A and B are shown apart, each in its own frame.
Chain A
Amino acid sequence: MIKRLFIFMILALMAVIFFNLASNYTENTSLSKLGHYYVEKGPLEIGAPNLVTAVVVTYRGLDTLGEVTVLFISAAGVGLLLRRSRRKQDIDSQDRDNRAEESKNSHKPASEIVETATELLLPMIILFGIYVFMNGHLSPGGGFQGGAIIASGTMFLLLALPESHISRLMIAITESLSGFSYVVVGVLGVIMAGGFLDNRFMDLGTYGELFSAGAIPLIYTFVGLKVGFELSAVLDRFRQYDQNEDTDSV
């Protein structure tokens, strides 16, 4: 109880500090130095109407590459933490059928409504995801958002059909290749344009069209695929570990 009181006091002090922040805050009436530059120069320099995308992909492209890396290592980390015992990995392929079997026993199937809706909606969800990352430079959205939408489709699938199998190999190939391609595109920027992750080594095209803004749609496609598959892999990991729990004693 004393501990709680102490925590409360410390957080009350934090609240005082936060109050100081809020009471001294005045809403901006004009753009910051950086914001001003991006809004003024961005559309012409980068060729992307969506300035957030211009900032994310080009001006702060290194951040975004890092962000992709964060997601990549989170997925790898989750995979590492939730791996099955080593013995089972060695006989991965034979094991797969067994696990599919087990999962049938351990999970109640979803209702028919959900199953049917999944079949109906899943293609549309994925299509929407692709739309969002392809149009990231034109409208709100982008690689991460699109990828998240695709992963939500996977989530849907896993809820509706718990025994459905997601190919690890396909995930591995896609996320590896799209990640690697992203890096290659970055290097192309150094060689053929102004610097690492410069999108302008490709033609900027006509402002406002789908295939414009240099390499941004290309990059966002890689990012979208990578994010979509990685998040799907994370979801799959949690599901599988859950299933293993009853049978596997690590």
Chain B
Amino acid sequence: MVVTNTIIDVLLQPLGIYVLALGAGFLIPLFYRVRRGSGVLVFFAALAAMAVIAGLNLLAIINGAPAIDIETAGIKPPFSINLRFGLLEGGFVLAVNTVALLGAWHYLPRLKQQAASLLLYLILVMGINGMVMTRDLFNLFIFIEITSIATYALIGMGRSDNVLAAGFKYVMATSIASAFFLLGTIFLYYQTGTLNIDDIIMNRDLIEGPIGLIATLFLLTSLLVELKPYPANGWGLDVYETADSGIASLISVGVSAGVFFALYKLLPLMDNYLTSIALIGGLTFLISNLIGLKQENTKRLLGYSSIGQMGLLTLAVALLKQTDADAHLPLIVGGLFVNHLFAKAGLFWLAGIVNRKCIGEWSSGVKRSEVLLLGVLITALVGLPPFPGFWAKWELVMLLAGNELFGWIALILIGSLLEAAYLFRWFSYARQQDSEQPDDAPAEASFSFMQIMPVTIAALLLFITGYGMAKTMHVASPEVFLPLVAGFAMWLIDRSHGRLKNLPMLAAVAVGGYLLTNDLEGINRLFSYLLVGGGILVSIAAMYRNDNRRGFYPLLTVLLLSLATLLRAQTSLEFFFSWELMTLSSYLLVTLGRNGVKPALTYLLFSLASAYFILAGFSVAYGATGSLLLADLGNSGDSVAIIFSLLAAGFIIKMGGFGVHIWLPGAYAESDDDFTAILSAVVSKAGIFGLFIIAAHLGVRSDIGLDPGYVLGWIGILTATFGALMAVFQEDIKRLVAYSSMGQLGYIVTGMALMSHLGWVSAMYITVNHFLFKGILFLSIAGVILRTNERLMYKMGGLIKNMPFTFTFVMIAIIAMSGVPPLSGYGGKWMLFNALMEKQWYWITAFAFFSSAVAFLYMFRLLQTVFLGQRKLEHAEIREAPMILLLPQMVMIVGIMVISAYPKLLIDPLSAAIDPWIANTLVWQGTALHAHFGHWNAPMIMAVVAGVFMIPLILLSLFALSMKIQKVEQFNIVYAAERPRRPEETHFAYKFFAHYDRAIGFTVRPRATAFWNSVVEWSHSAGASLRIFYNGNGQTYALFVIMYFVGLFLFNGGLAL
């Protein structure tokens, strides 16, 4: 009994990992010979035990036990080899063993065919454990070799044609790297007389002169090369591309993890070369993501991403070391590592299951569950919330900002954006076939369930570790995670019918939104009415759709609640978290549209760019103030202007500002029709809220100077002008209103930019107004599209007879938008113009007038071509839009009427909320608002206009009864010297404003689109020219390995020797 207990004690120590792995490894061939199943059983038992041992010991250490030092042979180090199992080691080992266990599950169909492959896999995992735990330099070499040889053999087991060639290149390159390691080790021993890493570090003064330099660089080169730095990584890419997914995943996450940890252990010896290491890591991250843009092969794409991630980790660890921020290591390096580990391994497995050579081929026959997992894993990999990568990247960026390393931040953000571009491009392909894709057939279900189970667990682990990290960073409050939890709850009932899900969704958002926002004050509270209340109002309309709408309601729940958390964010981290959550959920919602996938990708990339600008802005602020509180933004001293510019750039992109608007028409037009209403009426207000935050905290400060505000004013008015101009020339009804939306947001930006009380009140007033009329317009359009199945305006006409309510609502909305009395648009424009004149921004005022005039053109067209004129024959029978669509519109009509007649009801709270930032300058006399250039008495105007309209209307009705009316048949149009070339040209509504096109069309040619296309093209060709080094020849790759050493030598003072 005692002996058994002792043995169990021994095995439960970290040493047990080796004992079990080796013992089982040696015995597997025997068991396998007796019975194949027993060999597999021993294999799994050992792997599981390795994970459990790591887990138990790590738990003990987290609970306060000291790091475990394992000495061997009963002799003290440095005279014997010792192993260490501390917090970092434990985390790495546990993570690697867990992923290895899941990977074995995925890989089992191949592994179990041979006893050798089982034992190789097991010992490979042990080798990685050893690389992490050993504290002896030469022992480290042995574990590297164990890992390498097992890897070679498992690569060679692959089925694809070129796997052997790729494997040979891999062996060539890594064997040279190993040779360097051995040389480095022996010369370090020559100088220090010891092999124990701690002992060497203690005696590092002895490492000197040319021998010391060369020896250290040998070690460094070897480890860096094993991490596959650009350009010495072609051999790694070839293996990722050709090897089985089971082994490719283990190389990508496991072997790299071991090598990376080895590098970390030896980093104290590399103090002088940290810059080199950071540069190599950073360039590898940037360049491999750039090249990844051009990659079509699924697994090679993952290879580029893998290499990029390891580059990022290398960069992070070097910079952390350089800034003496070891305390941040677990969170940053650990977070990035765990994120890469589970996400990349999961993606490799998924690629293995789906088994499509090119990412383009993912567009057919990929199951719903697989697409879902792909989405989760890619989201994690890109570093979006709530996954560990998000928190780690945030910490890293903030830490770098604290040390004013802004160049590195830029590099990391650009690289991340590139990575997002190709990963989500892949996801887009997979999303494209979603509509026709069936649920898993029951017969296959159990098999495919077993297959995707490891991937699913990896995804779950990402959620869990993400939450754990949030907890460590003290942001894991229930409020922050409420959107996700509510979304998850909605997802559980996602299989039920669409209409049934609407009410629970509304209830969830209402309750959640109330809980989140009921303690808000001031402007945030006003925004909460608009975003949450408005969101609920518009979402009611979603019930008009009769289908299942898989995914729509969970995502909408997340979106609306994340808007609520955005409003209550106290720190920039909470703000950014909610912002990213909003970006992500709205992106996914756009992909649900009929042809939404492609425009959604553009939307996402611009949104991410926007988010990264915001992150950069926050990081500069943190660097200046050392505080994450939004309230401290203003204390940033000299950096105020740059912070303001970065954040404003982010919000402008998100609002579709001039030049960065190209995502907007596509995303608006191709979304589900009711979701477009939410996007335009509700989600776009988040950008305005952001703008308000920075305007309030930074913009009003005297030391910022006028310039950023003035520039912002111009951007706003140009957006308004070009939005209106482009709306004029649209044929597609949704695109027209989308451009109109962009233009209206431009006015709001300009109003904000004024940094005056009246300016801000006008901006907020227009914001509310915009919510009302855009909500009505897009919902009306949804009704029209529902009934006619058309989006091109010249294919409609005369719908006033069929859809009188819709017509009336559109008309009221258009009047409210246009800025003619008596409706609310007039008040907004009136205040804006007054504020502009007060500020003496005359040119901007002129543009504002011009764009308002242009807006009339498209508004007229909208009303005229859709509802007036002749009705198409096939539209004779269509009915009014469904009640559920009209209901929210009615509420909003009431809203428009109220704020038109009694603007004070709205302006007073707005003014009060703005007062803390800029003192109130509004003067009321009764119901009239007085300003420098005149006054505005809304109820009065309302009464006058009503009178002016009603009298002719009554007269007209009377005359009409007695007049003879001649009906004109459709197409009864006489053309003067114009010959129609295509059928639609015979319709007056086609190219309605063609005559204007000749005059001002040059202003709306798609220059921005052309510009962004050329950016894409440029990055693709840059990627293409950067990958010429990968010529496929193993000798070239080996040469690069040697060149890395020579280069490092020359770079680090070798010339001086």
Report the nearest A residue to B123, measured CB to CB: A73
B1039 within 8 A of A: yes
**Interface segment, B65-73, B369-377, B601-609?**
B65-73
B195 within 8 A of A: yes
Report the nearest A residue to B189, measured CB to CB: A32
With a 10 A CB-CB cut-off, give which of B30, B80, B115, B194 has the most chain A CB atoms.
B80
**Interface segment, B209-217, B226-234, B548-556?**
B209-217
Contact of A172 among B33, B71, B1050, B1054 (CB under 8 A): B33
- Judge whether B189 and A190 touch: CB under 8 Å: no
Contact of A76 among B15, B119, B136 (CB under 8 A): B119
Report the nearest B residue to A66, measured CB to CB: B142
B1042 within 8 A of A: yes
Report the nearest B residue to A193, measured CB to CB: B74
Contact of A69 among B22, B28, B33, B153 (CB under 8 A): B22
B400 within 8 A of A: no
Nearest-Cβ distance from residue A181 to partner chain B, whole angstroms: 9
Residues of chain B lying within 8 A (CB to CB) of residue A175: 26, 29
If the complex has contacts A70-B145, A77-B116, A186-B19, are A195 and B1049 also in contact, measured as CB distance less than 8 A? no
Residues of chain A lying within 8 A (CB to CB) of residue B3: 191
- What count of chain A residues pass the 8 Å CB interface test? 65
A117 within 8 A of B: no
Contact of B75 among A59, A73, A177, A187 (CB under 8 A): A59
CA–CA, A193 and B74, complex, Å: 7
Residues of chain B lying within 8 A (CB to CB) of residue A176: 26-30
Residues of chain B lying within 8 A (CB to CB) of residue A14: 1042, 1045-1046
Contact of B73 among A10, A25, A61, A67 (CB under 8 A): A61
- Judge whether A81 and B153 touch: CB under 8 Å: yes
- Judge whether B193 and A73 touch: CB under 8 Å: no
- Judge whether B194 and A32 touch: CB under 8 Å: yes
**Interface segment, A33-41, A121-129, A140-148?**
A33-41
**CB-contacts of A159-201 with B (<8 A):** 169, 172-173, 175-177, 179-180, 182-184, 186-187, 189-191, 193-200
- Judge whether B193 and A34 touch: CB under 8 Å: yes
**CB-contacts of B118-151 with A (<8 A):** 119-120, 123, 130, 134, 136, 138-139, 142-143, 145-146, 149-150
- Judge whether B120 and A76 touch: CB under 8 Å: yes
- Judge whether A69 and B1046 touch: CB under 8 Å: no
B948 within 8 A of A: no
Residues of chain A lying within 8 A (CB to CB) of residue B7: 187, 191
Interface residues of B: mostly helix, strand, loop or mixed?
A: helix
A104 within 8 A of B: no
Contact of A20 among B19, B138, B210 (CB under 8 A): B210
**CB-contacts of B1017-1057 with A (<8 A):** 1039, 1042-1043, 1045-1046, 1049-1050, 1054, 1057
If the complex has contacts A14-B1046, A63-B139, A73-B120, are A183 and B19 also in contact, measured as CB distance less than 8 A? yes
**CB-contacts of B165-210 with A (<8 A):** 187, 189-190, 192-195, 209-210
B156 within 8 A of A: yes
Residues of chain B lying within 8 A (CB to CB) of residue A13: 1046, 1049-1050
Residues of chain A lying within 8 A (CB to CB) of residue B146: 66, 69-70, 73
Report the nearest A residue to B6, measured CB to CB: A191
Interface residues of A: mostly helix, strand, loop or mixed?
A: helix
Residues of chain A lying within 8 A (CB to CB) of residue B468: none
- Judge whether B214 and A21 touch: CB under 8 Å: yes
A24 within 8 A of B: yes
CA–CA, A170 and B600, complex, Å: 63
- Judge whether A60 and B81 touch: CB under 8 Å: yes
If the complex has contacts A77-B149, A195-B75, A196-B70, are A32 and B193 also in contact, measured as CB distance less than 8 A? yes
Residues of chain B lying within 8 A (CB to CB) of residue A74: 149, 153
With a 10 A CB-CB cut-off, give which of B73, B120, B190, B210 has the most chain A CB atoms.
B73
Report the nearest A residue to B79, measured CB to CB: A37
B626 within 8 A of A: no
Report the nearest A residue to B30, measured CB to CB: A176
- Judge whether B114 and A21 touch: CB under 8 Å: no
- Judge whether B187 and A73 touch: CB under 8 Å: no
Report the nearest B residue to A57, measured CB to CB: B73
CA–CA, A13 and B1039, complex, Å: 13
With a 10 A CB-CB cut-off, give which of B138, B142, B1039 has the most chain A CB atoms.
B142
Nearest-Cβ distance from residue B653 to partner chain A, whole angstroms: 45
**What 8 A-B pairs come out closest when comparing CB atoms?**
A194-B74, A77-B153, A32-B193, A179-B26, A33-B193, A66-B142, A198-B74, A76-B116
Besides A62-B136, A183-B19, A195-B75, 16 new A-B residue pairs in contact (Cβ under 8 A), listed by A number: A14-B1045, A17-B214, A20-B211, A33-B194, A45-B75, A61-B81, A73-B123, A76-B115, A80-B154, A80-B157, A175-B26, A180-B23, A183-B26, A196-B73, A197-B73, A200-B74
